[in-house]
Amino acid sequence: MNKAWWKEAVVYQIYPRSFYDSNGDGIGDLRGIIQKLDYLKELGIDVVWLCPVYKSPNDDNGYDISNYQDIMDEFGTLADWEELLAEMHKRGIKLVMDLVVNHSSDEHRWFEESRKSKDNPYRDYYVWRPGKDGREPNNWRSFFGGSAWQYDEQTGEYYLHLFTKKQPDLNWENPKVREEIYKMMDWWLQKGIDGFRMDVVNMLSKVPGLPDAPVLTRDRYQFGSQLYINGPRLMEFLTEMKQKVLSRYDILTVGETPLVTTQDAVMIANEETGVLKMVFQFEHMDLSAETGAEVGTVKPRKLSGLKDVMTRWQKGLENRAWNSIYLGNHDQPRSVSQFGEDSRYRVESAKLLATFIHMLQGTPYVYQGDEIGMTNVAFESIQDYRDVATLNLYKEAVEEKGVDPQAALKVIHAKSRDNARTPIQWDASGQAGFTKGTPWIKVNPNYKEINVSAALADPDSIFHYYKKLIQLRKENPVIVYGTYDLILDSHEEIYAFTRTLDRERLVVILNFSRNSPMFYLPENISFSSAELLIGNYNVHPSEDLRGTMLLPYEARVYRLR
Ligand code: TEU
Ligand code: CA
């Protein structure tokens, strides 16, 4: 397997709106990030993935871009951004920018032109179609509810928007669109950035003719994912992007690719011929999360299901492509609330999850706030929610489908994207030290207990545990490059695996339960000594790997010799 800096790196994801507000307007900003860089340096991460900071009317918090080559007013100026990049590089931290080019904002100049007339030179920058029998051109459903088509009076046609109606899809069939985007990407790369995270990048190519999606529910609009995910020209577009832009830079590229399979990943992120360095897969998130648009019930999750998915990805990509490893991001509930336990065993389970993502093969992505164990929030009123997806789905459920508001709110508590978007809890002062003003979204009321300042002061904190894991990863190539092998396949409480590189071998033992199961290292794994590299309890009932009782949410990593 080839060595590469982006395989050895740990990435930290910043959602700027909620990171740190430097000027009291209640919105996180670039100068706020600059002020907190020493904190990130202390944590030890290598790369920051910065969610969109471009000019945007913020219908979807920056994922609706009205100018790709300028900074959103609330976040600062291009000069602030230049300073941020310089300050990061000064500290040895790389910067990966978000690239959102499946769609733009309807307030982008291209779209404003495009909607003017059918013969406008920008008309073909977007996907316009006449209606069919007085209705939308097809039955596709938008990810955020309702039809994926919006009627536009000026020219009497509909435009496609897979997300909100303020996010019209760009027409990748048009070579001029592709050229504009490559030029823009090059402009940022020339400024010295270190890579791109590419938003819904497997949705760029739509099936010609845009046929109806198969009807699977009684809803008027249907998910047409097979008609635009991994579309017929996707690899051609990405190969062109690689030839024209990406191949000229030593950068980290990660595709956000909902519904991606290991086969797709082996093609897109292939060691030898791949177009991107890695992709985000969603199978493990879909085990419990409703990542589709439906406000539905919260599905139960079995540990063996998680093992199946992760093991399939670990083995499926082995020596062929590279994994990205994450348990949370700005679109998901908090990882400790979803995969761990955010009440009694919050600290233990957060450390267990940290051990998990750092010990798998692949590049770990830490979502802001996870390093202090931030949790989901349960606002009492829909009025306190800000996420457009949450608000649309609530409206659809309650107003159109007659779902009981309290029931809808319960699902939102478990699944809303706003769970991950409450402000970072910096200290125990008012508004969690995030802002001197009124935050754009309420802080989680648990900030007095859970905050950065408390975490830094406590040597046993989740923060210091992350720091140690990141350090271990730098010191032990086996953690980065070692082969993954699952042990105890069907155990429903313990997730255990080995990592092997030449003569080095680690065994990772994770008790994903509040019980105290016995762990028995299988006899076929021989060793003469076992050294504990890291663990989330200070004392262990016994360290005899041939029979040791694990404590609730206990995590241990041993080096076997
Ligand atoms: O998310 C893409 C995506 O597929 C989401 O619909 C995801 O399934 C959902 O948020 C899970 O709840 C990306 C961005 O990460 C997201 O923030 C944007 O809203 C979306 O694209 C549109 O740009
Ligand atoms: Ca601000």
At 370, the amino acid letter reads D
Q: Active site residue: 74, 98, 256, 331, which one?
A: 256
The pLDDT tens digits for 249-280 are 999 999 999 999 999 999 999 999 999 999 99
Tell me the β-bridge partners of 338. none
Quick one: how far is CA 118 from the chain centroid? 38
Instruction: Pick the atom of ligand 1 nearest to 64's CA.
Output: 23
Which of 306, 296, 250 lies closest to 277, judged by CA? 250
Under 8 Å between Cβ of 526 and 545: no
Does the pLDDT of residue 121 top 70, yes or no? yes
Does the pLDDT of residue 434 top 70, yes or no? yes
User: Does 63 sit in the ligand 1 pocket, CB within 6 Å?
Assistant: yes
3-class DSSP assignment, residue 319: coil
Instruction: Pick the atom of ligand 1 nearest to 163's CA.
Output: 22
List Cβ neighbours of 13 (8 Å cut-off, separation of 6 or more).
48, 49, 51, 329, 330, 365, 366, 367, 368
d(CA 186, CA 180): 10
List Cβ neighbours of 279 (8 Å cut-off, separation of 6 or more).
202, 254, 255, 256, 257, 260, 264, 265, 268, 269, 324
d(CA 425, CA 415): 21
List Cβ neighbours of 214 (8 Å cut-off, separation of 6 or more).
222
DSSP 454-470: HHHH-TTSHHHHHHHHH
276 burial type by CB count under 10 A (0-12 exposed, 13-18 middle, 19+ buried): buried
Helices (H), 418-483: 452-457, 462-475, 477-481
User: Does 261 sit in the ligand 1 pocket, CB within 6 Å?
Assistant: no
Q: What is the mean predicted confidence (pLDDT) over 200-217?
A: 97
d(CA 117, CA 182): 26
d(CA 301, CA 471): 31
Does the pLDDT of residue 454 top 80, yes or no? yes
DSSP 396: I
270 burial type by CB count under 10 A (0-12 exposed, 13-18 middle, 19+ buried): middle
Predicted pLDDT of residue 104 = 99
Q: What is the mean predicted confidence (pLDDT) over 149-160?
A: 98
Query: Counting ligands in written order, which one lies closest to the CA of residue 25?
Result: 2
**Which two tokens mark 436?**
């001197």
Does the pLDDT of residue 503 top 50, yes or no? yes
Distance 168 CA to ligand 1 centre (A): 14
Distance 280 CA to ligand 2 centre (A): 30
User: Does 258 sit in the ligand 1 pocket, CB within 6 Å?
Assistant: yes
Distance 133 CA to ligand 2 centre (A): 48
Q: Active site residue: 46, 59, 169, 199, which one?
A: 199
User: Does 166 sit in the ligand 1 pocket, CB within 6 Å?
Assistant: no
Which of 140, 325, 294 lies closest to 221, judged by CA? 140
User: Does 359 sit in the ligand 1 pocket, CB within 6 Å?
Assistant: no
Q: How far apart are the first and last CA of the chain?
A: 24
Under 8 Å between Cβ of 18 and 54: no
Query: Counting ligands in written order, which one lies closest to the CA of residue 105?
Result: 1
Query: Counting ligands in written order, which one lies closest to the CA of residue 56?
Result: 1
pLDDT band at 289 (very low <50, low <70, confident <90, very high): very low
Q: Whose CA is nearest to atom 4 of ligand 1?
A: 258
Distance 436 CA to ligand 2 centre (A): 10
Does the pLDDT of residue 528 top 60, yes or no? yes
Under 8 Å between Cβ of 330 and 368: no
The pLDDT tens digits for 323-337 are 999 999 999 999 999
Q: What is the 3-state secondary structure (H, E, C) of 526-558?
A: CCCCEEEEEECCCCCCCCCCCCEECCCCCEEEE
Does the pLDDT of residue 293 top 50, yes or no? no
Under 8 Å between Cβ of 74 and 82: no
Distance 331 CA to ligand 1 centre (A): 6
Under 8 Å between Cβ of 18 and 423: yes
Predicted pLDDT of residue 288 = 66
Under 8 Å between Cβ of 501 and 481: yes
d(CA 204, CA 254): 15
pLDDT band at 300 (very low <50, low <70, confident <90, very high): low
Q: Whose CA is nearest to atom 6 of ligand 1?
A: 143
Does the pLDDT of residue 382 top 60, yes or no? yes
Predicted pLDDT of residue 290 = 42
The pLDDT tens digits for 4-42 are 999 999 999 999 999 999 999 999 999 999 999 999 999
Predicted pLDDT of residue 295 = 44
Query: Counting ligands in written order, which one lies closest to the CA of residue 170?
Result: 1
Instruction: Pick the atom of ligand 1 nearest to 63's CA.
Output: 23
Distance 120 CA to ligand 1 centre (A): 30
3-class DSSP assignment, residue 290: coil
User: Does 98 sit in the ligand 1 pocket, CB within 6 Å?
Assistant: no
- Number of Cβ within 10 Å of residue 133's Cβ equals 5
Query: Counting ligands in written order, which one lies closest to the CA of residue 104?
Result: 1
User: Does 434 sit in the ligand 1 pocket, CB within 6 Å?
Assistant: no
Q: What percent of the chain has a predicted confidence (pLDDT) above 70? A: 98
Q: What is the mean predicted confidence (pLDDT) over 412-432?
A: 97
Which of 218, 229, 206, 224 lies closest to 139, judged by CA? 224
Global pTM value: 0.97
Q: Whose CA is nearest to atom 16 of ligand 1?
A: 331
Instruction: Pick the atom of ligand 1 nearest to 102's CA.
Output: 23
Helices (H), 95-233: 109-114, 175-190
Q: Whose CA is nearest to atom 10 of ligand 1?
A: 331
The pLDDT tens digits for 353-376 are 999 999 999 999 999 999 999 999
Instruction: Pick the atom of ligand 1 nearest to 60's CA.
Output: 19
Distance 466 CA to ligand 2 centre (A): 28
**Which two tokens mark 135?**
């209705």
256 is known as an active-site residue = yes
Does the pLDDT of residue 296 top 80, yes or no? no
167 burial type by CB count under 10 A (0-12 exposed, 13-18 middle, 19+ buried): buried
User: Does 199 sit in the ligand 1 pocket, CB within 6 Å?
Assistant: yes
Distance 41 CA to ligand 1 centre (A): 29
- When the pLDDT of each residue in the chain is averaged and rounded to a whole number, the result is 96
d(CA 147, CA 142): 5
User: Does 228 sit in the ligand 1 pocket, CB within 6 Å?
Assistant: no
d(CA 435, CA 239): 44
Q: What percent of the chain has a predicted confidence (pLDDT) above 90? A: 96
Rounded to the nearest 10 degrees, the angle between the axes of helix 405-415 and helix 388-395 is 150
User: Does 331 sit in the ligand 1 pocket, CB within 6 Å?
Assistant: yes
Instruction: Pick the atom of ligand 1 nearest to 143's CA.
Output: 6
